[in-house]
Amino acid sequence: MGASRLVEGGPCRNILAVAVDPSTLRIVNYPAPILRQQAERIEKITSETQAVAMGMLALMHEAAGIGLAAPQVGLPWRLFVANPTGDPEDDQIFINPELVAPSRELVDQEEGCLSLPDVRAVIRRPLAVTIRALNFDGQPFEFTSDELPARIWQHEYDHLEGILILQRMSAIDRMANRRAIRGLEAEYRV
């Protein structure tokens, strides 16, 4: 039996639980509604949860990404995976993460998003942050970074809150990405 996924149905938008086959996970593109929803805590880490996390890591590597959140594969779970180096030995799984102690120093840096192909924007975020989460085996851990991992954690955490870089980008970046955003919206309607 696979892990459960919440799926929206018809005009009444009923939410149904259905099985998830981790091998069928695919990246969901904007403007899919799941990307704007706040994800739910994972109450129990099961073999299905772990299989989904491993599937997400594989999908992230296949897409040449450095982070991927569960809503980006259509799952409303508080789970993301990350790898700042691309080396599989640096793969990390974050279950029910919390960001704490963001630095007061803010830094602008260009970001992209696997759910927004061809969209790039300069996003202002705290330079440093601490993350607390559960690992693959459900054990708590804490990391602090003021480098690329801190930016990845903040970006992926935003996905768990239903926030996209579209909401954080400047008006100039929004205009510069208008064609790509409209293209994604048109593809979604088809």
What pLDDT is stored for residue 17 in this prediction?
47
Task: Read off the pLDDT of residues 21-78 as tens digits, 9 standing for 90 and up.
Answer: 888 999 999 999 999 999 999 999 999 999 999 999 999 999 999 999 999 999 999 9
Distance (Å, whole) CA 142 – CA 23: 30
What pLDDT is stored for residue 125 in this prediction?
98
Model confidence at 1, in pLDDT bands (50, 70, 90)? very low
Angle, CA of 86, 88 and 94, to the nearest 5°: 90
From the list 190, 53, 65, 55, the residue with the least C-alpha distance to 116 is 65
Distance (Å, whole) CA 107 – CA 85: 20
Enclosing domain of residue 56: 3-189
Q: Domain tally for the chain?
A: 1
Active site residues: 156
What pLDDT is stored for residue 123 in this prediction?
98
Mean pLDDT for the chain overall? 91
> What CATH code is carried by the domain that includes residue 150?
3.90.45.10
Mean pLDDT of 172-181: 97
pTM (2 decimals)? 0.89
